[in-house]
Every structure is written in structure tokens, then in C-alpha cells.
Amino acid sequence: MILIQYPTTQTITATETATVDLCGVPYSGSTQPGEGNMVHAGIIASTQAECCVLCQTLKNCVSFAWTDEACQLLIKTSPLGAASSNAQCPLGIETYDYGTINSTGVVFRGPCGVPVVH
């Protein structure tokens, strides 16, 4: 007796989503907070990671900066008009000039900001 096996088709559904490490990519920084944004300095955080978590969990956080053990958050304070928005960023997701990616940079993206392409 000869046994012949035929290949079968299997469907695989992807369940993972690509993510961006907002806490791990430093930028050189921008000199301007941008229209409708406010810098909140003196935020209590012990580490850069803690500062990042604060930005990621607060609504409308465009970016955060970590320098000399100090945390600053850049928060959107007025709506962006026709910009896209979501539950985390109800005032809009801003195209923001973070500067250039720089290993010694101190500015990091928040969930409500998309970098300008340089």
C-alpha cells in the first residue's frame, strides 16, 4: 500500500501590532513649544522612564524632555482644527518639529505628536 499526502492550506491571522518606542528615540529638541502648546516644568519624576510614562498616560502630551534629572512635559492646550484625534489626544495629533534624532538628545515624542521629516 502506498500512502500519498497532499499539502494543506493553513490560514494564520496576525495578532501583533507594530509599535514605536516613544521613550527610546531621543531628538535634538525644538526651540519653540508650538502654537497651542504649554510647557509644564518641574514635573516630579525620578527617572527618564518615569517621565516618559507620565507623558504616555496624560491626555494631549506632545513630547517630554528629560535633563539633569528634571522632567518637562509639552501639553497641547487648544484644538488643532482639522487634525486627526483619538481618546488619548482629543485636541489633535500634531506634526511637531522635534529636531533631528540624536543619541545625546533630551526631547522624546509623546503620543500626540508626529515628527516633521527632516
Rounded distance, CA 109 to CA 10, Å? 40
pLDDT of residue 3: 53
Domain region containing 81: 37-111
Report pLDDT for 61: 97
Q: Is 79 part of any domain?
A: yes
Q: Is residue 75 part of a domain?
A: yes
pLDDT at 57: 94
Q: Which residues contact 106 (CB under 8 A, 6 or more apart)?
A: 26, 29, 65, 66, 67
Is 96 within a domain?
A: yes
Residue with the bigger pLDDT between 109 and 33: it is 109
Classify residue 22: in a domain, yes or no.
no
User: What pLDDT, on the 0 to 100 scale, is given for residue 9?
Assistant: 57
Q: Is residue 68 part of a domain?
A: yes
19-77: per-residue pLDDT in tens? 667 788 899 987 678 889 999 998 999 999 999 999 999 999 999 999 888 999 999 99
Q: Percent of the chain at pLDDT above 70?
A: 81
**Total count of domains within the chain:** 1
In a domain, 18, yes or no: no
- pLDDT band, residue 113 (cuts 50/70/90): very high
What residues form DSSP beta bridges with 117? none
Report the DSSP beta bridge partners of residue 99: none
| 4 has a pLDDT exceeding 70 | no
Predicted confidence at residue 11, as pLDDT, reads 56
Q: How far apart are the first and last CA of the chain?
A: 68
CA angle in degrees (0–180, nearest 5) for 113-116-118: 150
Q: Is residue 2 part of a domain?
A: no
Is 45 inside any structural domain?
Answer: yes
